[in-house]
């Protein structure tokens, strides 16, 4: 990762922060993107405590201008872009269909439109560098046919999985490898707070029977590094349920 430039969306906390810190440890210059200025600045402070190779961009990835600016900023600050991690996401209450369309459309924009916008502008920058790596952080919420209490979130994450598989040919066309990680429940403050407010019946309905098995953010960061380093993988989806080990789904078997 030496002399490489990485960009992590939603890097101000949780999974995004763990990924940003790990990429910096690997030697990359890291652009941290978030709408949370304080959280993003803290991630950069931690990166720069070891080496001066972190920068923060305040941007909303679900807006075209924000996605364009963060990629342009990587070029201005560090000279280009080699790795994009599409991590920004979320599903604030209330959910579809109780929520107003303006609210649930915002969730779709963040979880799917933002990934597509970021990928669009990143590909343009990576082509100028001769290739690159994109890792999408989706969710097990987007896999299978189980119910989910945030349908707009599940639909958006399912779209990210399908997008990843369809972009597999970019590896041969322009040297850009796109892969995806679908974790179950991850041990972040937001998840811990949500679990604390759940009844046992609600946990069972979400396939989270006690005792909870939570994936650590650092484990997700390790998986990102795997995808960055392994140039044989493209269009792959890593399924990582909270009750079992991760496994890779080949592009020709993702259906």
| Tokens representing residue 176 in the block | 């850009």
pLDDT tens-digit profile of 151-189?
999 999 999 999 999 999 999 999 999 999 999 888 777
Asked if residue 211 has pLDDT above 60, the reply is no
- Mean pLDDT for 216-243 is 94
- Pair of tokens at residue 153: 């979130």
CB 29 within 8 A of CB 76: no
Q: Is the pLDDT of residue 209 over 70?
A: no
Summarised one tens digit per residue, pLDDT across range 113-131 is 999 999 999 999 999 999 9
Q: Active-site residue numbers? A: 153
Q: What is the pTM of this model?
A: 0.92
Domains of the chain: 5-253 (3.40.50.720)
How far apart (Å, rounded) are the C-alpha atoms in residues 199 and 146? 19
């Amino acid at each position: 990762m030496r002399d490489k430039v990485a960009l992590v969306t939603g890097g101000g906390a949780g999974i995004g922060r763990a990924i940003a810190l790990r990429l910096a440890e690997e030697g990359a210059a890291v652009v941290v993107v978030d709408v949370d200025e304080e959280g993003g600045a803290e991630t950069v402070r931690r990166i720069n405590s070891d080496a001066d190779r972190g920068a923060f961009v305040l941007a909303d990835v679900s807006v075209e201008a924000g996605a364009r600016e963060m990629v342009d900023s990587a070029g201005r600050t560090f000279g280009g872009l080699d790795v994009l991690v599409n991590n920004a996401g979320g599903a604030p209450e209330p959910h579809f269909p109780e929520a107003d369309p303006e609210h649930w459309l915002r969730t779709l924009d963040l979880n799917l439109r933002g990934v597509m916008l970021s990928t669009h502008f990143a590909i343009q920058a990576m082509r100028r560098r001769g290739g690159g790596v994109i890792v999408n952080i989706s969710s097990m919420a987007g896999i299978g046919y189980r119910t989910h209490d945030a349908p707009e979130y599940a639909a958006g994450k399912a779209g990210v999985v399908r997008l990843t598989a369809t972009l597999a040919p970019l590896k041969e066309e322009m040297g850009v490898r796109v892969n995806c990680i679908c974790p179950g429940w991850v041990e972040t403050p937001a998840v811990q707070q949500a679990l604390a407010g759940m009844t046992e019946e609600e946990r069972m309905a979400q396939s989270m029977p006690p005792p909870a098995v939570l994936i650590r953010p650092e484990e997700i960061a390790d998986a990102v590094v795997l995808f960055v380093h392994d140039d044989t993988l493209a269009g792959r989806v890593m399924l990582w349920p909270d009750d079992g080990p991760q496994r890779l789904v080949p592009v020709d078997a993702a259906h």
